[in-house]
């Protein structure tokens, strides 16, 4: 029998549009998939960015809409063919924008994802909820109401500051009203231009001040390759020699940082987790024996 799934649910947010949410969702899932984890991406955006980025043509599959409006199960809807290793997808399509009209007026919209996510937790180690760029969207609210973590994404641009401040406020509101368990996993700085160090330092300072301990050591550089791959419907990890590509190495390291945090949630939230750079990363589905401290990360390789 397969090992018990970790069942960790991560909403990928920052409701400002075009800040790398989808690119991060699919590439982090694929990086974790490389480490042997079972990952599910649920595309909650009618714009279907994750669906297209994973190479699935819009309107070709049933998916999120059926998951939320019928008794269909995750197993019945998940796409696994031609996906990155270890990754499955619940696809979206533009008709998801009609979700509100299709739901019964007696449905509790904020709890819409509870049943499918309880199902997904039993079968997957990581479930990524790629949200639409609207905080008030039914799917975004339901994602925040059910997730264990929120992973924020930001481009180091002066306008990001406002977006991040708003995102922090949304998280505080969700915790107060809906889901006290929701925690910020971290803020991923992506599309980072190595020359714009002053701006990046300033944004990192804001994150450290608002959310101590929640910035990542790894950031993702600006890379035209990412935009190109999204057009081709591929993640970095479906390229033959991805291990040699700098941006893929960054995503692997970021995935290992995420693994380090979520697998030691209590210590991370207490602030007693050693910095990632000084830690060994555990193996997926660890055996009953203690993990050797110097074990290579399954994600980062030897
Ligand atoms: N590191 C990067 N370097 C260069 N371009 C990037 C990088 N990350 C993302 N992009 C590009 O930026 C654009 C926006 O990214 P993405 O679609 O992931 O953002 P999003 O937050 O999901 O957007 P939306 O809110 O519209 O769903 C895309 O064209 C993507 O290819
Ligand atoms: Mg998106």
pLDDT digits (tens, 9 = 90+) for 93-137: 999 999 999 999 999 999 999 999 999 999 999 999 999 999 899
CATH number of 8-278: 3.40.50.300
pLDDT score, position 283 = 45
Residue extents of the structural domains in the chain: 8-278
Instruction: Report DSSP letters for 163-215, one per residue.
Output: HHHHHHHHHHHHHHHT-TT-EEEEEEE-SB-TT-HHHHHHHHHHHHHHSTT-B
231 vs 225: CA distance, rounded Å = 10
Would you say the CB of residue 18 lies under 6 angstroms from ligand 1?
yes
Residue with CA nearest ligand 1 atom 18: 20
Would you say the CB of residue 22 lies under 6 angstroms from ligand 1?
yes
pLDDT at 293 over 50: no
User: What pLDDT band is residue 152 in, cutting at 50, 70 and 90?
Assistant: very high
User: What pLDDT band is residue 202 in, cutting at 50, 70 and 90?
Assistant: confident
Q: Which of 174-183, 202-211, 212-221 has the highest mean pLDDT?
A: 174-183
Strand partners, 42: 90, 129
User: What pLDDT band is residue 286 in, cutting at 50, 70 and 90?
Assistant: very low
For β-strands 149-154 and 183-189, DSSP reports them as: parallel
Ligand 1 probe mutation, 14, 17, 22, 23, most atoms within 8 A of CB: 23
pLDDT at 41 over 80: yes
Please report the atom of ligand 1 found closest to the CA of residue 153.
Answer: 21
Please report the atom of ligand 1 found closest to the CA of residue 47.
Answer: 27
Please report the atom of ligand 1 found closest to the CA of residue 222.
Answer: 3
CB-based burial, 247-260: b 16+ in 10 Å, e otherwise = bbbbbbbbbbbbbb
Residue with CA nearest ligand 1 atom 29: 227
Burial-class residue 122 by CB neighbours within 10 Å (0-12, 13-18, 19+): exposed
58 vs 49: CA distance, rounded Å = 9
Which residue in 183, 169, 154, 132 sits closest to 8, CA to CA?
Answer: 183
Ligand 1 probe mutation, 12, 16, 22, 41, most atoms within 8 A of CB: 22
pLDDT digits (tens, 9 = 90+) for 81-91: 999 999 999 99
User: What pLDDT band is residue 278 in, cutting at 50, 70 and 90?
Assistant: low
Q: How far is the CA of 133 from the centre of ligand 2 (A)?
A: 7
Q: Which helix (H) or strand (E) holds 127?
A: strand 126-130
Q: Give me 190's structure tokens.
A: 């992506």
Would you say the CB of residue 226 lies under 6 angstroms from ligand 1?
yes
pLDDT score, position 1 = 47
Strand partners, 9: 127
Would you say the CB of residue 20 lies under 6 angstroms from ligand 1?
yes
pLDDT score, position 46 = 97
Task: State the average pLDDT over residues 144-167.
Answer: 90
Instruction: Report DSSP letters for 53-107, one per residue.
Output: HTTPPTTSS--HHHHHHSS--HHHH-B-TTPPTTEEEE---GGGGGHHHHS-TTS
Q: Of the ligands numbered here, which is closest to the C-alpha atom of 24?
A: 1
Task: State the average pLDDT over residues 56-84.
Answer: 96
Q: Which helix (H) or strand (E) holds 43?
A: strand 39-43
Please report the atom of ligand 1 found closest to the CA of residue 229.
Answer: 31
Q: Give me 72's structure tokens.
A: 């269909």
pLDDT at 285 over 60: no
266 vs 270: CA distance, rounded Å = 6
Q: Give me 279's structure tokens.
A: 């830690």
Would you say the CB of residue 147 lies under 6 angstroms from ligand 1?
no
pLDDT score, position 42 = 98
| Percent of the chain residues past pLDDT 70, beyond the cut | 91
């Amino acid at each position: 029998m397969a090992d018990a799934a970790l069942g960790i649910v991560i909403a990928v947010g920052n409701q400002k549009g075009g800040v790398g949410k989808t690119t991060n969702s699919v590439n982090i899932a694929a990086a974790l998939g490389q480490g042997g984890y079972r990952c599910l991406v649920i595309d909650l955006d009618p714009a279907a960015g994750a669906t297209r980025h994973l190479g699935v043509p819009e309107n070709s599959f049933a998916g999120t809409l059926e998951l939320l409006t019928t008794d269909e199960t995750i197993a019945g809807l998940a796409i696994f063919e031609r996906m990155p290793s270890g990754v499955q997808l619940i696809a979206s399509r533009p008709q998801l924008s009609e979700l509100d009209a299709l739901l019964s007026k007696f449905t509790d919209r904020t709890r819409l994802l509870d049943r499918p996510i309880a199902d997904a937790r039993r079968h997957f180690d990581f479930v990524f909820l790629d949200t639409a760029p609207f905080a008030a969207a039914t799917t975004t609210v339901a994602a925040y109401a059910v997730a264990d973590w929120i992973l924020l994404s930001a481009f180091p641009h002066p306008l990001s500051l406002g977006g991040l401040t708003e995102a922090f406020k949304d998280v505080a509101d969700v915790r107060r009203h809906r889901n006290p368990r929701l925690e910020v996993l971290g803020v991923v700085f992506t599309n980072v231009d190595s020359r714009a160090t002053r701006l990046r330092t300033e944004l990192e300072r804001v994150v450290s001040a608002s959310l101590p301990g929640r910035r990542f050591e790894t950031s993702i550089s600006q890379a035209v390759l990412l935009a190109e791959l999204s057009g081709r419907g591929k993640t970095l990890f479906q390229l033959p020699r991805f291990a040699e590509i700098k941006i893929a190495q960054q995503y692997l390291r970021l995935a290992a940082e995420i693994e380090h945090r979520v697998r030691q949630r209590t210590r991370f939230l207490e602030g007693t987790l050693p910095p990632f750079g000084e830690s060994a990363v555990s193996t997926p589905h660890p055996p009953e024996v203690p993990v050797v401290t110097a074990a290579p990360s399954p994600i980062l390789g030897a």
